[in-house]
Structure formats: structure tokens, C-alpha cells
A = this chain, B = another copy of it.
Amino acid sequence: MRPSGRTPSELRSVRITPNCNKYAEGSCLIEMGDTKVICTASADFRIPSWMTESGKGWVTAEYGMLPRATGTRNDREAAKGKQSGRTQEIQRLIGRSLRAAVDLSKLGPMTLKIDCDVIQADGGTRCASITGAYVALALAVAKLQKEGRFEENPLSAQVAALSVGIYNGTPVCDLDYIEDSHCGTDMNVVMTNQGGFVELQGTAEGRVFTRQELNQLLDLAENGFSQLFEYQRSAIEEGKAANE
């Protein structure tokens, strides 16, 4: 049995509140159970110097966590003077995932910077960040398109992420913190709504996992994605409507 009483394939309650920030080109607050992340998308009409001659735009992401987002307070990265390896790994993952949903050549000379800041963490913050980041990105793209910044819509797909793992020998999806910290195997899956994998990051924690378990985990993930894509679409529609 899962500590939360959920069935193995049951997501936590998902809530995506669009336009939570009045300045950003796009934004949302995503809540997966008690995990809460503010995602903003900011347009910067410059591109990194190494892209100058490509004619393409760029999408990049940064990730942070408030010091008391977790059960015990973590030192503030700005005060320590550097981002941890974990933070860098996560923000690189978010950036790569989002770029899989964007045709950079249609962006034009522009960088879209996505900030994912975890207000409260209860497991699965990197997956919630990706799922919310896509909503912020889509709202920003919609706003910039209304302003005539693009000739064609640069979004080529919807992208979302979900964690799965083996808890007490049973494959389960959308792990919360208690499950995550006792999990034999932990896998983050990033998919598009067109059915392919963008990223697959599986880690054995404590014991290795077999090919069969991998398949069970992927089955479970695919099932959850249809719900996530629906939550995203609904939040994007709501956010766009409010911006009319």
C-alpha cells in the first residue's frame, strides 16, 4: 500500500494556475500534491553569443528551491555562492526537455528563459517543473505570437514529465517524498503528446532493476501522461482566455 493510500497508477491531485505572475510573458503555479513550483517564461530579445550566426532562437531553464521548501532547511545557494550539482543537473534537464517541444528556427533571435522555483517540495520537483514550465512557455509563446513576434508557431509538441518507481516491490507513479526516499528504483520520464520519449533517467537505488521492471514502469508512465497533457491544455486555455 502507498503511504498516501493512492493506487499504483494514481497521480496526486494536480492543479495548474496560469498567470500567477503579472510581469512574466507566461507563468503558472503547478501543484502536484504538496509539491508547488512557480514557473515563469521570460523573453529576452538577445541570443547566446555562440548562436549569433545560426538564425535560431534559444530556450533555456533555471531551477531553484526556497531554503525551507523541504522538511529541514537547506542553505540558500545564492549565499553559498554556487549552485549544487543537483540543481545544475535539473535545470539542464528542464532546458533539454523544453527544447524538444520547440522549433528553434521559428523562434527567431530570442531567448526564452524559464524559471522554475520550488516553493514547497514533496517529491517529484523536477517533473512538476517540466510540466509547469511547458505551460508557462506556451502562454509566453501565445502572447508573443499575438504581438507578431513569430511568423509560424514555434511549438511543435506538448511536453510533460512524470516520475515512476518501484516502491516496496510494486511499480507506482508520481512518487511523493516518502515513497521517493524508500524507493528501490526511481525513473524520470519526459514525453511529448506525440508518443515518443524525450528523456529517460532511471536510477537504481539500493538494487538494480530488470528489463521487465523497466517495461512495467514505462507502461505506468504512459498511462499518467494522458492526464498530464490534459491538465496542461486546460491551464493554457484558461490562461489565454484571461489574457484576451
**A82 interface hit (Cβ, 8 Å):** yes
**A238 interface hit (Cβ, 8 Å):** no
B40 touches A66 (CB 8 A): yes
A40 touches B64 (CB 8 A): no
A197 touches B204 (CB 8 A): yes
Closest chain B residue, CB of each to CB of A77 = B78
What are the interface flags for A10-39 relative to B under an 8 Å C-beta threshold, 1 for contact and 0 otherwise? 000000000001111001000000100010
**A218 interface hit (Cβ, 8 Å):** yes
Q: Can you spell out 11 A-B residue pairs with CB atoms less than 8 angstroms apart?
A: A21-B68, A21-B120, A38-B119, A44-B73, A64-B66, A76-B78, A76-B115, A195-B210, A196-B204, A200-B214, A201-B202
A82 touches B85 (CB 8 A): no
B115 touches A23 (CB 8 A): no
A68 touches B23 (CB 8 A): yes
B71 touches A42 (CB 8 A): no
Contacts A78-B82, A196-B209, A197-B211 known; 11 new A-B pairs at CB < 8 A: A21-B119, A23-B69, A24-B68, A40-B66, A62-B76, A62-B79, A66-B115, A67-B115, A85-B85, A201-B201, A211-B218
A22 to B34, CA, bound (A): 8
A81 to B82, CA, bound (A): 5
A79 to B113, CA, bound (A): 13
B83 touches A78 (CB 8 A): yes
A67 touches B83 (CB 8 A): no
| Stretch of A1-9, A87-95, A124-132, A144-152 lying at the B interface | A87-95
A239 to B76, CA, bound (A): 26
A191 to chain B, nearest CB (A): 8
Name A30-80 residues within 8 Å CB distance of B: 34, 38, 40, 42, 44, 62, 64, 66-73, 76-79
Instruction: Tell me which residues across on chain B come within 8 A of A72, comparing CB atoms.
Output: 23
